[in-house]
Chain A
Amino acid sequence: MSALYSLLAVLALVAAGLEGGRTGAGRDALTLIVPYAAFTIFLAGFCVRVLRWAWAPVPFHIPTTCGQQKSLPWIRQAKVDNPSSKWGVLARMAAEILLFRSLFRNNRARMAEKRLILGESKFLWLGALAFHWALLLILLRHLRLFIQPVPAWVNGLERLDGFLQIGAPQLYISDVILLAALAYLLYRRFRDPAVRYISLFTDYFALFLLLAIAVSGVLMRYFVRVDVLSVKQFALSLAAFRPVDLRALSPLFLAHLLLVCTLAAYLPFSKLMHMGGIFLSPTRNLANDSRRKRHINPWNYPVKKHTYAEWEEEFHDKLVAAGIPLEDEDAGKAHTD
């Protein structure tokens, strides 16, 4: 049900984008109000969310250790999976964020009959990694629309992405990968009963939304061409807070824009905040040095204890009978029995 609802929600957005530009008021809303509002919500929401995490302290030092600790000098430490220094933590976080290290642990490639067997769980890692990197590349490529003159590195990325030189406009590999990865992630959510069991509206909604964005973008680039010059002019004018009404913006572009704005505005309220949260995860971003350095809990408070004095008083006679030394006895005498 939640899958259906979220699909309907995304389709409604697509329809609103396609049809909304037919009237002047609608176009104003789509090209002016929505982008600014979405961007503001995104920035403010993102910051609030991260700051709220930041302001909750990390009372205890709880890294999950995934390798040998640093203990005796002759035992080889797993410096990345069980870091004891800042650099180790940096390496661990980098592996986590850039390569999805933990998901990869899932990934135990096996050689069987001289062939590499990749099971189901490996595809999750591959799909997730492919999706995120492709998305990043695509976002960076979009900078060509927001920056004038276009920086050389953005052009470089484009050239890299289109190095297959298929067709004109050139086919971007990232587009293909993004679509394939999204399709796989969606397929997996439907097909794997365990994942289906836990999937919520928001899980499907995010996937459908991203898929709709990707499809509309691909359509615009390869099939229903839009006038890139107008788009760029529009993007630059937005960035300069001097929006111009551009009649040449096509309905498809408006739909794409609306979907992207929805994603941006929705992000701070959703699980997509994992993009910021991963940096803060206390099981990953702490060095395993809790015995070497004292970790401070800002709200540490005194608790009720059963003190030694109370204990000795309660068991006094039994202690004496058993010959266990008491507090005020001479320490040396205690060890006689």
Chain B
Amino acid sequence: MRDRIWIVAGLAVFVALITAPFWRARRDVGDLAKLPVLTLPANQTQCVAPVAYMRASHMKLLMAWRYQVVREDERKYVAFNGKVYQKNLTETCLGCHNKEQFCDRCHAYAGVPSPYCWSCHNQPQAGASAVSAAALQPQAQPAPGARRSPDRLLSRMSGWPVSPVPRRAQ
């Protein structure tokens, strides 16, 4: 009989822990809808791949670049729209994007702090100047015509065309 109080207390703690995100979310309700405000490059309108792909999978692109540069000495990247870039985090990416004002904000929001890119790479001093700031909003799905990948299953599961993961710049 006396153990009921312990059981109920234990249950209450459990429920409190489980529902903690709700209480917290209600407290900060105003801020929640706000996605991180990113500083977009002033001088460019298009990244090396479509935005949707870059948001979800930029790390895969970076890993592929690293491998190709370090192992295969492949430095040229031909983007989906035919533009040619250098496979270079410091020059190409950080040439447009600012680490603190771009990378870190999303990373902090998504809980992916400090990937080990930064153990080697630095933000160049003359970083991109921030001109336009925009809240990151969900992008509309790319038009079906944009699909390039033959891999339809993957593209259906991910909801957007499987991106031009660069295997080889050619």
Contacts and interface: CB of A to CB of B under 8 A. Distances in A.
Find out whether A and B make contact in their complex, taking CB atoms under 8 A apart as touching: yes
Interface in B99-118: 106, 108-113, 115-116
A23 to B, nearest CB: 14
Nearest to B111: A144
Given A54-B7, A225-B60, A240-B32, A143 B158 contact: no
Contacts of A18: 156-157
A64 B114 CA distance: 50
Interface stretch (A43-51, A116-124, A318-326): A43-51
Given A146-B21, A225-B57, A232 B4 contact: no
Interface residues on A, range: 35 or more
Interface residues on B, range: 35 or more
A288 interface: no
Most chain A CB inside 10 Å of its own CB: which residue of B111, B116, B136, B159: B111
Interface string B4-22: 1001101100110011011
Interface stretch (A69-77, A179-187, A198-206, A243-251): A243-251
A281 interface: no
Contacts of B115: 168, 170
Contacts of A167: 63
A18 B138 CA distance: 20
A330 B116 CA distance: 95
Interface stretch (B23-31, B42-50, B72-80, B122-130): B23-31
Main secondary structure of the interface of B (DSSP, over half): helix
A168 B60 contact: yes
A58 B18 contact: no
A239 B22 contact: yes
A276 B18 CA distance: 13
A224 B11 contact: no
A252 interface: yes
A98 B136 CA distance: 42
A165 B116 contact: yes
A195 interface: no
Contacts, number: 138
A51 B11 contact: yes
Contact of B11 (A50, A147, A158, A170): A50
B4 A54 contact: yes
B26 to A, nearest CB: 6
A233 B33 contact: yes
A249 B15 CA distance: 28
Interface of A: 18, 43, 46-47, 50-51, 53-55, 57-58, 143-150, 154-155, 158-159, 165, 167-170, 219, 223-230, 232-233, 236-237, 239-242, 244, 246-252, 276, 279-280, 296, 298
18 contacts: A47-B15, A54-B3, A57-B1, A144-B110, A146-B21, A148-B28, A150-B108, A168-B62, A224-B158, A225-B56, A225-B158, A226-B158, A228-B56, A247-B141, A249-B159, A250-B159, A252-B157, A276-B11
Given A232-B110, A240-B26, 10 more contacts: A18-B157, A50-B11, A51-B11, A54-B4, A170-B115, A227-B138, A229-B109, A232-B111, A237-B32, A244-B33
Interface of B: 1, 3-4, 7-8, 10-11, 14-15, 18-19, 21-22, 24-26, 28-29, 31-33, 35-36, 52, 55-57, 59-60, 62-63, 106, 108-113, 115-116, 136, 138-141, 154, 156-160
